[in-house]
Amino acid sequence: MLRSIPWVVLSAVTLGLFHPARSPAAEKLPALIPSLALQALLKSAVEKTVHQFKSAALRSDQLAVTLIDLRQPARLLHASLRGKILIYPASVIKLFYLAAAHRWIEDARLADTPELQRALRDMIVDSSNDATHYVIDLLTGTTSGPEIPEAEIQDWWDKRNAVTRYFTSLGYTGINASKKPWSDGPYGRESQAIRRFEPKRNWLSTDATARLFAEIALERCVSPARSRAMLTLLARDPRTTDPDPDHQAKFTGPILPTGAHLWSKAGWTSQTRHDATCVELPNGSRFVLVIFTTDHANEREIIRSLAATIINGLSS
For residue range 248-281, list pLDDT tens digits in order: 999 999 999 999 999 999 999 999 999 999 999 9
Report whether the peptide linkage leading into residue 89 is cis, meaning its omega lies within 30 degrees of zero. Answer: no
CA distance 189 to 59: 37
Q: Give residue 160's pLDDT.
A: 98
How many domains is the chain built from? 1
CA distance 243 to 89: 24
Q: Give residue 1's pLDDT.
A: 42
- Inter-residue contact 176 to 38 (CB < 8 Å): no
Report which residue type is found at 272.
T
Q: Give residue 184's pLDDT.
A: 87
- Inter-residue contact 180 to 163 (CB < 8 Å): no
Residue 1 resides in a domain:
no
Share of the chain above pLDDT 90, in %: 88
Q: Which domain holds residue 81?
A: 12-315
Task: For residue range 135-162, list pLDDT tens digits in order.
Answer: 999 999 999 999 999 999 999 999 999 9
Residue 231 resides in a domain:
yes
**pTM, full prediction:** 0.91
**SS3 call for 107:** coil
Residue 102 has pLDDT above 80, yes or no: yes
Cα angle 131-137-140, degrees, rounded to a multiple of 5: 135
CA atoms within 13 A on the CB side of 146: 2
DSSP-derived letter for residue 87 is: B
Residue 291 has pLDDT above 80, yes or no: yes
Average pLDDT over all residues of the chain: 92
Mean pLDDT of 37-65: 98
CA distance 201 to 214: 25
Q: Give residue 316's pLDDT.
A: 78
Residue 182 has pLDDT above 80, yes or no: yes
Share of the chain above pLDDT 70, in %: 91
236 pLDDT band, cuts 50/70/90, is very high
Report which residue type is found at 219.
E
Residue 267 resides in a domain:
yes
Give me the CATH number covering residue 301: 3.40.710.10
Residue 9 Cα to chain centre, angstroms: 26
**SS3 call for 261:** strand
Residue 6 resides in a domain:
no
CA distance 249 to 233: 12
Residue 33 has pLDDT above 70, yes or no: yes
292: which strand partners?
64, 274
166 pLDDT band, cuts 50/70/90, is very high
**SS3 call for 184:** coil
Q: Give residue 106's pLDDT.
A: 98
Q: Give residue 27's pLDDT.
A: 57
CA distance 90 to 1: 6
Residue 27 resides in a domain:
yes
6 pLDDT band, cuts 50/70/90, is very low
Residue 238 resides in a domain:
yes
Q: Give residue 178's pLDDT.
A: 98
- Inter-residue contact 255 to 278 (CB < 8 Å): no
Residue 263 Cα to chain centre, angstroms: 12
Residue 203 has pLDDT above 80, yes or no: yes
- Please give the biggest Cα pair distance in the chain: 61
Residue 118 has pLDDT above 60, yes or no: yes
Residue 9 has pLDDT above 70, yes or no: no
Q: Give residue 186's pLDDT.
A: 95
22 pLDDT band, cuts 50/70/90, is very low
209 pLDDT band, cuts 50/70/90, is very high
Rounded to the nearest 10 degrees, the angle between the axes of helix 36-52 and helix 301-315 is: 140
H or E segment and range at residue 129: helix 129-140
Nearest to 279 by CA among 289, 266, 270, 269: 289
CA atoms within 13 A on the CB side of 73: 8
Residues present in the chain in total: 316
Q: Give residue 124's pLDDT.
A: 98
DSSP-derived letter for residue 83 is: T
Residue 43 Cα to chain centre, angstroms: 23
H or E segment and range at residue 204: strand 203-204
DSSP-derived letter for residue 109 is: S
Residue 4 resides in a domain:
no
Residue 262 resides in a domain:
yes
Q: Give residue 20's pLDDT.
A: 42
Mean pLDDT of 82-104: 98
